[in-house]
Structure 1
Amino acid sequence: MAFVIRRDAGLYGYERALSRAGFTAVAGADEAGRGACAGPLVAAAVVLPARPLEGLNDSKKLTQRARERLYDLITAKALAWAAVRIEPAECDALGMHVANLEALRRAVARLDRRPDFVLTDGFPVDGFGVPTLAMWKGDAVAASVAAASIIAKVTRDRIMTAYAAEHPGYAFEVHKGYCTREHQAELDAQGPCAIHRMKWDNVARTVRLGRT
């Protein structure tokens, strides 16, 4: 299948082109937390309405306040949306690439409305049962992927903020489990907690050093 997207088509260009080609329920799928060494991997899928949502953009280009506002708007206006989480132990067991693929499949499968086309961010994902297109920086060029990136990001940030109360001392509410200098310092001092991904080199190193 071939379709043409004009460079000036804007964030909704792919969805409009797919609609003209007969695909009326286009889902975007994206994840948050792949690069973290603690906490779950969260994936989301969204089928947007035809009418554009004001302010929609790549989650990484938005402030926390803007993401929270758009989360509420997307969940209220989307034709369908879903978010799933893969816990650290399963991420370790599967490996992050396989876990990422599985999370995206689960998010799309959980949608209340079955999509007839799926857009994914970054790399191809099979197993959807419908046509799919992998897009480089999809969260910056396709509206449904941008919406999924916001749902995944806000969902995971809330999870990590809640974990900060359960596991004090790691500042999960600040770095959200990513491998920052602050996080590594606390990891070296205290060792890993229950939500760390034990297969990550920096986490495994603290175990070898006896920080458990």
Structure 2
Amino acid sequence: MFDLYPSNISLYKVAITHKSVLNSHHPVIHNERLEFLGDAVLDLIVADYLYENYAGRSEGFLTKMRAKVVSRSTLNQLSIDIGIPSLLVLHTNPNHQVKHIYGDALEALIGAIYLDKGFTYTKGLIIKFISKHIDFASLENTETDFKSRLIEWGQKNKKELAFEYNESFAEEVKTITFTVSILLGSYVLGRGIGQSKKEAEQNAAREALNSIADHLSLNLN
């Protein structure tokens, strides 16, 4: 996974401990605080990497690329590829696991590395890691901001779109799941589910664009 020798092993044990292990008889420290820290550290490292490697590219391009690199889907897949699911400590039926847990754990591990080794070491390690596991050339051509594209289509074609939000709590993994429906009048163009409103919006917008292209035969250009 990461080629390092921990100085404070307890940090890494916390990083792979999901909050589902919490109950009144078994108090533990889980990884949410490390996830928060790792998210910020990763954002800075990726921003610095892109700034150095895409000289002359616009702020908008850099922002979109960073969003693609640190997106939940990218982090989830990276986590699965390097074996984080087999390390994660959680109390839930495997059939009810949601993939975002793995991406969260990856961010928590980055937070643990930062606290254990400092920023300079963490930066070098993460840049080496993302350079190995992410195809940046391919990522440049990958569409991820479906919501903006859908809104632009609506504005261009004078179509009024409405977003409806619902949320539910999954007791097994102690997490909230968001559902977003996109309406064109009374017609549901798309519906998406995610572990954040943003993720659910993007999933719904992607489905809506597919619906427009495949079923309504409307112009997306």
TM-score (structure 1 length as normaliser):
0.28
Q: Relative contact order (C-alpha < 8 Å, sep 6+): which is higher?
A: 1
More helix by share: 2
TM-score, structure 2 length as denominator?
Answer: 0.27
Question: Which has the greater radius of gyration?
Answer: 2
